[in-house]
Chain A
């Protein structure tokens, strides 16, 4: 008989960590292929269409990069929050509230500003709104012990209703009665790289955010505090680290980045406020705010890892959209596969802590 022997690993090896990410993707794709097959499609064909649609050509890469922007911004913020075990599941709401606040500044500023300053103000408003919403949850958590998962999630639905109220109500553009606001004036729309929809100012903000968070985590006192707090809150308290400060800060950063992603989508792509600016136009669950949770975990909660994961997942989203158009496979399939990736990542984490060896015996 073959016996399984499980031993504790002395220290997690970096290549094992990387291997788990790869393995999780493989497992999820395999399980997904069963699902695709039961729906009467050929998994191999679907996957090749999906990956060539996401990464196979210059225009595919351009589309993928466009979708990378919000995933990057939100994902790297969540990586930071999750590192401190602050479970911010409210990125969809923080993204929308950022879009609302930014659009509000764009459309209803009572005085005139030169365009660059006006755009800057839009982004500042977006950041502040997202950060503020997240900070409320952080405050309730640290002061009265309200579970952050619950508060951030319930607020997602509240904010979604607020968006609907605005675009069906007071902010609706006059005319045909579509649930849109009127368009941003041309000077406030972000420039894009020639021939693509890559609104590069937001991309640059995203890359800067990744680099800043990388430095923050590795080289600063605050990063050290965040890591200590996330790994062992009791030791953090013992060391005199202020948990209130840590939670509030990581929530402000992650919420603010989600808010930036929101106004970025409005100013860079849609040029008006409507439902689905958070990426949920394709399937109910495909809001960038949820998808970015997977980005953060696939990137092993590190800044650079999240950046890579954001690009990869954006490719799957783009490819999945193509597959729905060409082959008629529902886009929800992509959500299912992404969910499976996350479950496999969490289940597979044990490989980093334990060594499994098979041996004959008994």
Chain B
């Protein structure tokens, strides 16, 4: 048996263990829900809705970081996406248009960030913080005209025929507005592109060793721009999901730090779109669960800490078990030919 197969079987064993623990946790959790009178299906349905904006953001950030760029401005792009989304929906009288406008606004902000860190080789951490503040400020400026106003143009719930009739699973995954399906479909697509196509190989090489990519004829700058802008567009879409698809109104600060959760989830996902789905669902689940606990008389503000604390504790646990998470080697470095 050569080294590669040994390593592989080792990973397999670890993954199986993790899978068993995960399944056991799910079974325990579901039985708790059922015993305390909560319908598991509707609970999971809510968790999936909560997970969707995070999933958009995390998928985008995974691509950006895989190309070697840490964009901390997700929260800013999400906020602007939420405000621009509601503005677009009111102006163009359509929820779809709103989502598109939110996406474009996120992409534009990301473009600004890309100029600063790719061409001008600025430090990524402070530039991302600048983008965070700019995005939040911008959302407050442009959103103020429609603050709190109910949006009349909304997505309709479109259950998928046949699949939506499956007990529990149907309600979990197949009774949603179209944007949720879009997020779910993006997971395998973005996984496939990243790991099984030339484009994905280019992106990963740029994030591991930009000099190697450059020497092989890959345009490092263009690849990084592409990934940053894609990340911005998805973060903007995630923001628009908050206002246009979920709440149907806009309020200043409505993204409530979920953009920062995206940064944490990207690490948790080990820079893999499939892991992004898992992480988003975990956070969405905890968020949904705190509403269940509110009914039992726990103070709401203490419960409000839960999603953030659980994210933090999950990351700590992950790091305790795996010293090396495998972050892209060239993350946080800028590239120049000199």
Contacts and interface: CB of A to CB of B under 8 A. Distances in A.
State if A and B touch, Cβ cutoff 8 Å.
Answer: yes
Interface of A: 8, 35, 39, 82, 87, 89, 140, 144-147, 149-151, 153-158, 161-162, 164-165, 168-169, 283-285, 290, 293-294, 297, 330-343, 345-350
A154 B264 contact: yes
Given A285-B253, A335-B134, A348-B120, 18 more contacts: A87-B125, A150-B315, A155-B308, A284-B136, A284-B252, A285-B137, A285-B140, A293-B133, A330-B144, A332-B252, A336-B134, A339-B76, A339-B135, A343-B116, A345-B130, A346-B123, A346-B126, A349-B123
Contacts of B312: 150-151, 154-155, 158
Contact of A332 (B121, B136, B299, B308): B136
A156 B257 contact: yes
Question: Which of B76, B260, B323: most chain A CB closer than 10 A?
Answer: B260
B299 A335 contact: no
B133 to A, nearest CB: 3
B58 to A, nearest CB: 13
A65 B135 CA distance: 28
B141 A149 contact: no
Contacts of B299: 165, 169
B320 interface: yes
B94 interface: no
B137 A334 contact: yes
Given A146-B316, A153-B257, A153-B260, A350 B133 contact: no
B193 interface: no
Interface of B is mostly: helix
B72 interface: yes
29 contacts: A35-B141, A39-B142, A144-B316, A144-B319, A145-B323, A150-B260, A150-B312, A151-B315, A153-B260, A154-B309, A154-B312, A158-B305, A158-B312, A169-B301, A284-B253, A293-B133, A294-B133, A332-B141, A336-B133, A336-B137, A336-B140, A342-B126, A342-B129, A343-B113, A343-B130, A346-B117, A346-B127, A347-B115, A350-B121
Contacts of A87: 125
A330 B133 CA distance: 15
B131 interface: yes
A293 B129 CA distance: 8
Interface string B316-334: 1001100100000000000
A101 to B, nearest CB: 17
Nearest to A296: B126
Nearest to A337: B137
The 3 A-B pairs at the shortest CB distance, nearest first, are namely A332-B140, A339-B134, A336-B137
A330 B264 CA distance: 31
B293 to A, nearest CB: 14
Interface core residue of B120, B261, B323 (most chain A CB under 10 Å): B120
Interface of B: 72, 76, 112-113, 115-117, 120-123, 125-127, 129-142, 144, 252-253, 256-257, 260-261, 263-264, 267, 299, 301-302, 304-305, 308-309, 311-312, 315-316, 319-320, 323, 338
A181 to B, nearest CB: 15
A332 B323 contact: no
Contact of A158 (B127, B263, B309, B338): B309
Contacts of B253: 284-285
A342 B113 CA distance: 11
Nearest to A342: B130
Contacts of A157: 256-257, 260, 305, 308
A150 B131 contact: no
A144 B320 contact: yes
Nearest to A354: B121
A338 B137 contact: yes
Contacts of B319: 144-146
Nearest to B123: A346
B120 A347 contact: yes
Contact of B315 (A146, A342, A349): A146
Question: Which applies to chain A's interface (DSSP): helix, strand, loop or mixed?
Answer: helix
Contacts of B131: 339, 343
B141 A343 contact: no
A162 B301 contact: yes
B316 A350 contact: no
Contact of B126 (A155, A297, A332): A297
A84 to B, nearest CB: 13
A333 B143 CA distance: 11
A335 B129 CA distance: 12
B316 A158 contact: no
A335 B133 contact: yes
Given A342-B129, A343-B131, A161 B141 contact: no
Given A150-B260, A151-B312, A332-B136, A339 B130 contact: yes
Nearest to A151: B312
A317 to B, nearest CB: 12
| Most A C-beta atoms less than 10 A away, residue of B137, B142, B316 | B137
B137 A161 contact: no
A154 B261 contact: yes
Contacts of B138: 35, 332, 336, 339
Contact of A284 (B72, B126, B129, B140): B140
A332 B137 contact: yes
Most chain-B CB neighbours within 10 Å: which of A149, A155, A332, A334? Answer: A332
A335 B131 CA distance: 11
Contacts of A338: 133-134, 137
Nearest to A153: B260
A334 to B, nearest CB: 7
A164 B301 contact: yes
A155 to B, nearest CB: 7
Contacts of B309: 154, 158
B5 to A, nearest CB: 29
Given A8-B338, A161-B305, A168-B301, A336 B261 contact: no
B305 A285 contact: no
A145 B319 CA distance: 7
A117 B62 CA distance: 52
Contacts of A158: 305, 308-309, 312
A117 to B, nearest CB: 33
Given A157-B308, A335-B137, A335-B140, A350 B120 contact: yes
Given A164-B301, A290-B133, A331 B123 contact: no
